[in-house]
Amino acid sequence: MKIVYPHMGYMWICIKAMLEYLDVEVVVPPPSSKKTLLLGVKHAPEFACMPLKLNLGNFMEAAELGADTMVMAGGCGPCRFGYYAHVEHAILRDLGYQYQLVVLEPPQKHIGELLGKIKHITGHQSWRKVINGIRFGYHKAEAVDELEKTANYCRPREIKPGTTDRALQAALKEVIAADTPEKLPAARKRAFEIMRSVPVDRLRPVLRIGLVGEIYTLLEPFTNQDIERKLGGMGVEVDRSIYLSEWINEHLFLGLVKNKRSSKTAREKAVKYLGHFVGGHGLETVGNTVLYAEQGYDGVIQMLPFTCMPEIVAQSILPRVSTETGIPTMTLIVDEQSGEAGLVTRLEAFVDLLARKKQTGEVLA
């Protein structure tokens, strides 16, 4: 069995570590690119959201590297995500790919089924080893998240442009190279030493923007056109409302790890504006915008793939949140037509507005 799973930012690092620790062969598809997207766009339904198209491209590229089993998360609820694994599998089968499909359904609703699938993937491994493997993957996700957060702090303050990005890549290499749980703490320490070596001006005034929206778009730099890096280069410190380890803790560990940011607070904040679950992260998008306003952020950017239903609901509510809380918001919708120049222009205009508002205390219309 040679397993492939779709790219979603740096998720590949933690799943690869976990599966290889459990002696499962993994095929990591090439990073998502224009080619990946073109493959997906060619074979996916036109109105499917961009994550489906990229997933499809990832699976097609991985098949050339020998992958034979695709692992996808399942889902339930108003958005289409729950169907995607099956739709992708059917498209690939029609195209002649011989993939075996394993869908990991959310544990809240299907714990027995999920455990059975884990056993199927990991074969003869004991539950004790499986748990250690999951813990190893989780600790890698935590390390990667912390490195990304440090990079988001350093970028707008770096003294020499580009040093943060180079340091981040070097630091990630350290974490990736740790192939056992025992080696991870030392690798993590080296990685943070690399990040600490980035010369920064801690007194430089920066703008702070919160990123909210659909999880895949927020986590996958190819989809969001590296928005965190672009904003960092414009002198903005970015906080992403969802990090992978937080999502794992909440949805797979059911909040077992304490002192982690949880989406519960955001959902509570959203109630005033949206009283029910709309699928995906629609509720969290609304609630996190309120939270960012309360925390004194200068602005919020919502990102969503074209046709994403939960985020369209949230998008229609954000103007009211913005008016009532005073935080400026901007929505960016991405699809295969999105160009880099357009995104940069919009980001620059938004950042200019926020800077002016900060300087003059002006209220934006």
Residues at the interface with ligand SF4 (CB under 6 A):
49, 51, 79-81, 214, 216, 280, 305, 308-311
**Burial of 206 per CB tally in 10 Å (0-12, 13-18, 19+):** middle
**Concatenated DSSP letters of 318-356:** HHHHHHHH---EEEEEE-TT--HHHHHHHHHHHHHHHHH
C-beta of 24 vs 79, nearer to ligand SF4? 79
H or E segment and range at residue 71: strand 69-73
Closest contact distance (angstroms) between CB of 151 and ligand SF4 is 25
First-to-last alpha carbon distance for the chain, in angstroms, is 57
User: Directed axis angle between helix 263-270 and helix 282-294, to 10°?
Assistant: 90
C-beta of 253 vs 306, nearer to ligand SF4? 306
Q: What ranges in the chain are assigned the alpha helix state H?
A: 11-21, 34-43, 50-63, 81-94, 107-122, 127-154, 163-177, 184-196, 215-219, 227-233, 244-251, 263-270, 282-294, 309-325, 340-360
288's tokens: 């996190």
Closest contact distance (angstroms) between CB of 331 and ligand SF4 is 14
CA distance 158 to 198: 7
Closest contact distance (angstroms) between CB of 42 and ligand SF4 is 19
C-beta of 39 vs 308, nearer to ligand SF4? 308
C-beta of 210 vs 280, nearer to ligand SF4? 280
Closest contact distance (angstroms) between CB of 217 and ligand SF4 is 7
C-beta of 146 vs 220, nearer to ligand SF4? 220
C-beta of 216 vs 297, nearer to ligand SF4? 216
Q: Are 101 and 72 in contact (CB under 8 A)?
A: yes
C-beta of 83 vs 192, nearer to ligand SF4? 83
Closest contact distance (angstroms) between CB of 305 and ligand SF4 is 5
305 by DSSP, 3-state: which?
strand
CA distance 75 to 81: 6
Closest contact distance (angstroms) between CB of 213 and ligand SF4 is 9
The strand order across the sheet containing 100-104 reads 25-26, 2-4, 69-73, 100-104
H or E segment and range at residue 299: strand 299-305
Backbone phi and psi for residue 73, each to the nearest 5 degrees, phi listed first: -80, 150
Closest contact distance (angstroms) between CB of 51 and ligand SF4 is 5
C-beta of 36 vs 150, nearer to ligand SF4? 36
C-beta of 77 vs 181, nearer to ligand SF4? 77
Identify the CA nearest to 102 among candidates 138, 51, 59: 59
Closest contact distance (angstroms) between CB of 218 and ligand SF4 is 11
Closest contact distance (angstroms) between CB of 82 and ligand SF4 is 9
